[in-house]
Structures are given as structure tokens and as C-alpha cells.
Structure 1
Amino acid sequence: MSAPTVTTQDRADGQPRPRLLRRAAPWLRAAAAVLAGLLLYAASPPRDLWWLAPLAVAPLAVVVHGRRTRAGFGHGLLFGLGYMLPLLGWIQDFLGVQFGPWPWLGVALVEAVFLGLAGAGMARVSRLPGAPVWMAAVFVLAEVLRDSQPFGGFPWGRLAFTQPSGALLPLASVGGAVLVTFAVALVGCGLGVLVLRLRARDRWVVPAAAALVPLLAGAALQPSIGVEPQAGTARVAVVQGNAPDIGLDLLYEDDVLHDNHIRGARQLAADVDAGRVPRPDLVVLPEQVGSWGPTRYDPQLTAVTERLGVPVVAGGFAVDRDGTFRNRIVAWNPGSGAGDEYAKQHLVPFAETIPMRSVARLVSPFVDRFQQDMVPGDLPGVLRAGAVRLGVGLCYDVAYDDVFAGAARDGATLLAVPTNNAWYGHSEMSWQHLAMSRLRAVEHGRAVVVSATSGISAIIAPDGTIANRSEQFTAQNLDGEVPLRTERTPATALGAAPTWVLSLLGAGALVATARRRTHDKN
């Protein structure tokens, strides 16, 4: 019987490693990367397991630490697939019957490639002093890239959106979603490097600090999250008229959506007249309730606004006088009809704006539904609705950092997210979307009203807690008292500055690795 061949190259302590274990190591690292991605998915809404997210990043940090760039990319890609495939399963729920799994697999793969780039960068900077900090900054840089590329990006599944509650959420009030992502990555990378350093019995202080400081900072900030009214309060009502759970067939049911929500608004008016519900100061209807020409003619919506006697905010497809087609929110006022408007700034690629139409027809039903692309707006949405200055972001807008930051800086005292999530059935998509609104509430110190066609509608306090919410696929009206707030959080005031700083930290660390390699060769 021959003794196994050994090597000393892969052990930090110089002890030999059996050949069998050496051969198994790549497969073990690959499996660990996939399992880490699955763990990050488990940390995502509707599960309220915020603490799992940094624990999911930790194995990724371990498997890419000290590896070559190519290996880091491969492990990051596997991590991304483990995360994105289940997270984006709602795309398959939406398009699968007609288009098969290809749109779902394609989007998940593209998003996973960016996480592969994160893994590659993390591997490179892991050799620098203070590695957890640079690894977390590189993760942020990769996330920023996928938030903007291709076709305007797809920010779904940002690390920050796994944190609608918990110890790290208060950091959103200081540096926005990007700082929360950095904190999750920093804790995870700190834990991962700490495990490696404990094995080597040295240099554990920096990774231990990286793992602890964000948690302590979040805990210290928690008491500073403002929830008290600063400009009075407002009673807000939300009309969820419901929609049929028919997936793609909803494309041609505009009249059903309109009629259901007019019926819901009439029921609200009847409840107010009967004294069952206090008269609201503002009523919010979802996205895609109406379809309007340049005159914004909608006699039924006008009539129910007059009956309620308060401003009603509703979303719909609108054609402007110059023929421009937009997804808009319009404030309807008693006595004067249609007033202030907001045009959606971030359009959904291959749905509201369609690149490469001839090819897109193979993966999107919206090519035939919309014969022309919608045009994005470029101004913050702050609508005057009685005493309320309402900051609006339409559906997909909430995933981007600039929409509500601009509205809060322009004086919004309350935020609203009208949306139509009925396409996606009972999938997790609506819960993932709701988590974004909860983070935005803390980021800007404002209550947020989510008005969805079929759920989940919600009234969210400025600290991210849900004061009231609806069930999915039910006709249900909500109402509640919300604080109107004027104070700017540091995140609102700083705007995109934290994104630039953290992205430059990641880019600078990558440049430092290139300079270091050149120096080592010399």
C-alpha cells in the first residue's frame, strides 16, 4: 500500500495536504459558492432574515480570497446563479407558458455575470492590507455597474434590498441603499476573512472590526430615525381594486383594471359617506388604472374625485400633445380635474421601452402590445395634493436611487409607489418590491404609500415598519394616518455622493492591485 502524495503549497500552516483533498478542493469551493448564493436568496423577501445576507457573503469571500482573477470570476458567477435563478423565478411565472424558460434564464445569467465580476475583483483585492474593506467596495462597484447596464440596468436583488428590517437598515438614512449594500458586504467579507485568519492564528483584528463596526453603527443610528410629524399629518386611503390572475392575458384588460379601481374608489366614497371610514385627505390609486389622451379625459375618475371631495392620484398610459407616449401619474382635484403629473423615469427594458424589436419579439409580449416606445421623464415627481406634497415613483422606479432622492430634495413630505404587480401572480415578486419601498422610507425619512393593483399595497412608516397592508388578489381599501416630514436625511442631502465614493474605493483598490503586480515583477 503506497502512501498518498502530499503538497505544502495550499496550506497556510505549511502542513501537507492529501492529493485526494487537493483534487476535491475546487469542487468544494464551487459547491460553497452555489450554496452561498442560495443562502442569499433565503435571506430575501418575503423571508425576514436580514442577518442571513452577510452570512451568505462570507463563504463567497472565503472561496475567492487569494485566488486568481479567473477563479474569482467563476466562483462569483456560480454565486450569482445560485442567487439570481430562484430570486427571479417570477419571470418564469410571468412569461413561461408562452416563451418558455429562456427570458428567465437569460436575465438571471446576465445578472450573475456582474456577480462574477464582483468575485473576480474581490479575488484581486483580497491580497491587499485591509482586504474586507476593498472586497466590499468592489462588490459595490459591480452592483453599481449592473444597476445601469445594459439597457439602463436591472437593480433587482441588490444586497440592500435584503434588509427591509434589522440592524443594518438605519445606515440607509446616512448613505442610502449603496451604504447598506456596502455594510452587508463588509460584514460578510469580514467574517469570511476572519475565518481564514483564525486558522492562520494572526491578523484577525481588521476582519473582526469589519464584521462588527457596521452592526454597531446601525444600532447607534437606530434612535435617530425620525418618525414624528414635522408638517402635520395626513389621512391617506389606498384603493386596491384587484386584477384577474391571468398572467400575460392581462395585457389587453385595461378596461377591467380601470373599472375595478373605479368600483373600489366608489366603495371608499360610500364608506366615507356612511361614516365607516374617516374622510381621507388624499386617495392613491395604482399604476395602469387609466389610459388618457392629451386632454386627460376620464369622466368616471372625475366623478369619483368630486364625490370624495379630495385629491385622487392615479396612474395610467398617457399620450401628450406632441404624441409622446408615457407612463404617468396624474393628480385629479375636485372642481378642476387633472392637475400635476409625473412621468416614470426608469422604464422597464423589453416592456415599456423595447430595444432590438425584431429580436425582442422572441422574448417579450410587449412588442406587439406597444407599437411605440414610451419616453422616460426626467424630472422628480412632486405632486400637489391638497396639503400634501407627494413624491411619486412608479413601480420599477423604486429600485433606483435617484427618483425619491430628487423628490425629497424638491420638498416631498410623503412618498408613494403606485404599481401594477398583477402580472406575476402569487410569486415573491411583490414582496421583493415592497422591501424596496421599506428601505426608501428609512433612506429619506418619509412615510411611503404603496398602491398596487392586486397587492401588496401598504402604508409604511418612516422607520420602515408596515403600518397596514393588503392581501394579494383581493379587492381591498386601506387607510391610515401618516406623518408629513420635511427634514432631509443625510442620505437625501448627499444624493449620489456615497455611490461615487464607494465605487471609487473599489476602482482604486483594483488599480492598486495592478500597480502592485507591476512592482512585484520589477
Structure 2
Amino acid sequence: MTTLDQTRPAEAGSPPTPPRPLPLRVAVPLAVAAGLALLAAFPPYGWWPLAPVGVAALAAATHRRRVRAGAALGFLTGVALFAPLLAWTNLHTGNLPWVLLSLSQAAYLALLGAATAWVSPLTDRHRAAWPVVTALLWVGQEALRDRTPFGGFPWGRLAFSQGDSPLLRLAALGGAPLVTFATALAGGLLLHLLWRSWRPTAAATWWPVAGLVVLLTVGLAVPVGVRGGGDRITVAIVQGNVPRLGLDFNAQRQAVLDNHVDATLDLARRVTSGEADRPDLVVWPENSSDIDPLRDPAAGARISQAADAVGVPVLVGAVLRGPGPGQVRNAGILWRPGTGPDTDQLYTKRHPVPFAEYVPMRDLARKVSSQVDRVRSDFVPGTEPGVLRTDVAVLGDVICFEVAYDGLVRDTVTGGAQLLVVQTNNATFDESEALQQMAMVRLRAVEHGRDALMASTVGVSGFVSPDGRVDGATGFNTGAVVVRQMRLGDGRTVATRVGVWPEVLLVVAAGLVLAGAAVPRRRRVVPG
């Protein structure tokens, strides 16, 4: 039997012989265990140290295998990760969308497994580069998955598993790609340490341990927040809840609107009686008014009633009809007391969710599942960043899944946003999905040095400080109003300034590694 620890003795002065590929009876369960370890790193579990463990396990399973075998093992890891991670997608739509989405995401880890196998001869020749190569390949895989197809689906990025890790603070330097790189680098160092441990000498083991210590120390040392701004405003999140969870939440649209109006009226009563601080701004979630308040006088009147009572602007999540027949927009609109909707301060969601808010290739998709016809009107994407100006602050608004996309959030900050706002509707999902989304808000707050909040129809809502800490988190499937002070930020972090460039450089480096691996592969055949 050939295993990771069975290396042939090296001649004096020569580098140790690289480990042989693990037997399949070991590699297959190890690949599955890698996916489960990665899963446990994400909310609702949040065992963040298991993310590097999962990276190490997948790298060990695929190392020195044939490319096809590496792809198959990577696919097993992907299924073990994504099938349970995305289980919230099948709660109300049946199993088919969940299965298709999980398999499509697992395919990207199949590419990662194939790439890891492909570069094995190169890492055998340059063993010290193994951890860095592992990290580069992870960043490359995520960069591809975040963008393809139909704009990509960034759920399950390693960076989003590190909410309580020292590595989260690296987001202030290079955003999510740098956090993913560091997390995967830690996994590569773990694997290298394991391999070196079978030849226990001080020279063999000290540097992987030192690398892990340095990585965590640097993470802890990175400053968070930005200079400038500093003024505080009081913000209220209104989580109105829905009568019942599920896809038919929009059939209850009047009740959902009434819930948010009534909760805001109650807040106004408590402010008047001195039980609560008067907010400077009230934030309602996505879909808080699925009745177009710009075209339905009754809906508009109810929102005006709430804004007038509380005496401050309300950021409303609304579905607006148009601009063309059969088209709708998912929008955030500022509703001012006394004057009503401020259509100059209106953000239209720029990245509608494919197969949920619009159906690409509808005729073909219908042949796969008639469920696509639940989406009766395609949402039209907006074209401008969500920079909304109130009397007291400039808001950076993104809607629901948009918080997962680096550029959509960054555009609001470079456009002048002093606070980050995420309006979302989790009524069709569950608490796990909401917690996973909150983890993304935490990373964005650190990345851009901004106070942030997430306002959900059903939870989880809450406030996030620039060091990633969550305050005032609400329960799931309940009504709540949370009021907190938020600090305005005007400066820019390194990550905000450099934008996409860290990811570009890491992806280019990954491409060079893949190209460079072709040379040693021509010189020898990798067993598998």
C-alpha cells in the first residue's frame, strides 16, 4: 500500500522523495471528508479552523493523481460541500433546482481537483511552493465560479467562512480574494507540515509552523476601519416578518406591507413616549412593499403614514412595475416624511438572480422544469451603483445576493457611501441562508472600513462594525425593530483603493503555475 507517509529514503544532501498518491480507498473518503470539513466552517456551524483542514484534505487526496481522477475527487468534495450548504434552495421549490445548483457548483471544485493533480509534478520539484500553489488555485477557482455562468454564484467562498477568524481582517487589504488566499495558504501549510512530519527534523518542520503563526499574527495586526467621518447617526431596522414563509410570500404582499408600516408606527409611538431614541433613518428590507407604491396610491399612502409618524426618511424595499410592459424592478427607494418618495434617491438592483428574478433561455429552461414559470415577469437590472443620499448620511445600498459580489459593494463606497446597507428577503429560505448572508456583510464591513447593516423581512437582521462584529442580531421568522448608532466613514481602506487588482494578480499567478506545470509533466508520467 502506498500512502502519504511512505516516502523513499533520500540520498544525503538530496531533497526528500515526494509522497506517492494515496490509494483510492483512502482518497475517496478523504475527499468527502474535505467537503464536510469545509461545510462545517460556514454558518450556521461556524467552525472556521476547519476550512484550512478541508483545503489540506482535498489537496492530499488529489496530489499526484491523474487529472481525471483529480477531477472526480474534487467533484466529490464539491458535492459534500454544496449539497448541504445550499439545502435551503429546495425548501419551497422541490429538489431539482437544488440538485442542479449543487452539481454545477461542485463542477468548479472538480476543476480545482484536476488543476491540483495537474501541478503535482511542479510542486514535487519545488516542495516549498506547495502551500502557495494550493492557495493560488483556490483563488482562481473562485474567480471563475464567481462570474460564470449568468454572472456567477459566489456562495461558499472560503472567505465567507472566516467571520470569527483573525484572517477576516485581511479583507481590509485585499478583500475576499485575499482572505480566500490566506485561508487556502493555511491549508497548504498544514498539509506540508503533515508531509514533513514523517521526516521529523528541525529544518523540515519549523517553517510550515512558522508560516501558520505568521499568517495568523499578520491577520490580527491588520488595522480595521478608516480615518475620516466619525459622526454618528441613529438607524432603525424594521423587520416586519411575513404571515407565512414560502414562495407565496408575495401573495401576502398587503399583509407584509402592513407589518412594516405597523412596526414603524409602533416605533414612532415609543419615540414620542421616550421609550426609544428617535432615529435619523429607518431601513425596511427588500420586498417590504411588493405593491408598487409609486403606482398604487393606497400603498404609497401607508408608507407615507409611517414616514410622517416617525418623522425621518424610510428606505423602502419595493417591487416597481416597468419600465416596459411585463417588466419589474427590485428597488430601494428613499421615502421622506411630508413629501413622500424621492425618486432621485432610488436604487435598482443591478444583479437580478437568474432563474429566480429572471429566466435566461426560458423556453429551454421550461423543458427542464415548469417551475421557471413561477417567475412571471423578468426583473430588469439597474445600471447605477446604489449610492443614496439622505440628509444625514450617504448610503451604499445593495439588495440580497448582491452582497456576495465584490464589485457591486465596492462601487457604492467609491461612489461616496458612508454606511453599507443590505436589504434582503429571506422568507423563501431558512435561518442557515440568512446567517450565511450575514457572514458576507461582516466581510464587507471589514473590507471597506464601514459600519454596515442587514435588514431582512424575517431575519436575520443586524448591525456590523468595521471589525466584523455583529450587534443587535434578530431572531428568524419573527418581527423586530432594532435601533443602534452607526458611525459614518469617509476614508478608504487599501482594499477599496486597489479594487480587483489583488484578485487579478493572484489569478494571473495561478495561470502561470498551470502553464509552468506542463514542463515537468512532459518529463515524467504521474501515476494515478
TM-score, length basis structure 2: 0.90
The alignment partner of 2:177 has SS state of helix
Give distance in 1, aligned partners of 2:417 and 2:239: 23
Contact 1:225 1:445 in 2 (8 A): yes
Deviations 1:469-498 (A, max 9, x none): 111111110000111111100111111111
Give the number of aligned pairs. 503
The alpha-carbon deviation at position 516 of structure 1 amounts to 3.7
1:394-473 matches, cutoff 5 A: 394-425=399-430, 427-473=431-477
Give distance in 2, aligned partners of 1:336 and 1:8: 73
Which residue of 2 is the match for residue 19 of structure 1?
A: none
Give distance in 1, aligned partners of 2:45 and 2:130: 31
The alignment partner of 2:383 has SS state of coil
Give distance in 1, aligned partners of 2:402 and 2:309: 31
Give distance in 1, aligned partners of 2:109 and 2:155: 13
Q: Aligned match of 2:77 in 57, 79, 103? A: 79
The alpha-carbon deviation at position 319 of structure 1 amounts to 2.5
Which residue of 1 is the match for residue 276 of structure 2?
A: 277
The alignment partner of 1:32 has SS state of helix
The alignment partner of 1:253 has SS state of helix
Which residue of 2 is the match for residue 334 of structure 1?
A: 337
Q: Aligned match of 1:385 in 380, 390, 400? A: 390
Give distance in 2, aligned partners of 1:119 and 1:7: 20
Give distance in 1, aligned partners of 2:335 and 2:263: 16
The alignment partner of 1:332 has SS state of strand
Q: Which amino acid aligns with 1:118?
A: L
Which residue of 2 is the match for residue 268 of structure 1?
A: 267
Q: Larger deviation: 316-325 or 143-152?
A: 316-325
1:53-452 matches, cutoff 5 A: 53-96=51-94, 101-126=95-120, 127-128=122-123, 129=126, 130-200=129-199, 204=205, 207-208=208-209, 210-221=211-222, 224-226=223-225, 230-290=229-289, 291-292=291-292, 298-323=300-325, 324-339=327-342, 340-361=345-366, 367-425=372-430, 427-452=431-456
Contact 1:351 1:366 in 2 (8 A): no
The alpha-carbon deviation at position 238 of structure 1 amounts to 0.5
Contact 2:116 2:134 in 1 (8 A): yes
Deviations 1:263-319 (A, max 9, x none): 111111111122111100000000011232765851111221122111110111112
Judged with a 3 Å threshold, the aligned counterparts in structure 2 of structure 1 residues 216 and 296 are, in CA distance, closer, same or farther, namely farther
Contact 1:239 1:285 in 2 (8 A): yes
Give distance in 1, aligned partners of 2:408 and 2:268: 31
Percent of residue pairs bearing the same amino acid type:
40
Contact 1:317 1:328 in 2 (8 A): yes
Q: Larger deviation: 194-203 or 149-158?
A: 194-203
Deviations 1:84-119 (A, max 9, x none): 1111111122323xxxx2221211111011011111
The alignment partner of 2:255 has SS state of helix
Q: Which amino acid aligns with 1:217?
A: V
Q: Which amino acid aligns with 1:113?
A: A
Contact 1:226 1:445 in 2 (8 A): yes
Which residue of 1 is the match for residue 8 of structure 2?
A: 13
Judged with a 3 Å threshold, the aligned counterparts in structure 2 of structure 1 residues 23 and 114 are, in CA distance, closer, same or farther, namely closer
Give distance in 1, aligned partners of 2:337 and 2:151: 38
Q: Which amino acid aligns with 2:338?
A: G
Give distance in 1, aligned partners of 2:21 and 2:58: 20
The alpha-carbon deviation at position 169 of structure 1 amounts to 0.6
Give distance in 2, aligned partners of 1:144 and 1:271: 48
Which residue of 2 is the match for residue 503 of structure 1?
A: 507
Give distance in 2, aligned partners of 1:232 and 1:92: 44
Structure 2, unmatched stretches of 5+, are 11-19
Q: Larger deviation: 152-161 or 127-136?
A: 127-136
Structure 1, unmatched stretches of 5+, are 1-5, 16-21
Give distance in 2, aligned partners of 1:163 and 1:30: 26
The alpha-carbon deviation at position 369 of structure 1 amounts to 4.0
Contact 1:294 1:321 in 2 (8 A): no
Judged with a 3 Å threshold, the aligned counterparts in structure 2 of structure 1 residues 246 and 361 are, in CA distance, closer, same or farther, namely farther
Contact 1:350 1:364 in 2 (8 A): no
Q: Which amino acid aligns with 2:256?
A: L
Q: Which amino acid aligns with 2:7?
A: A
Q: Which amino acid aligns with 2:339?
A: S
The alignment partner of 1:331 has SS state of strand
Give distance in 2, aligned partners of 1:448 and 1:484: 10
The alpha-carbon deviation at position 438 of structure 1 amounts to 0.8
The alpha-carbon deviation at position 150 of structure 1 amounts to 1.4
The alignment partner of 2:476 has SS state of coil
Contact 1:282 1:386 in 2 (8 A): no
The alignment partner of 2:29 has SS state of helix
Runs (4 or more) in structure 1 with deviation over 6 Å come to 6-10, 362-366
Deviations 1:449-483 (A, max 9, x none): 11100000101111110121111111110000111
Contact 2:448 2:492 in 1 (8 A): yes
The alpha-carbon deviation at position 67 of structure 1 amounts to 2.2
Give distance in 1, aligned partners of 2:331 and 2:4: 62
Which residue of 2 is the match for residue 3 of structure 1?
A: none
Give distance in 1, aligned partners of 2:261 and 2:4: 71
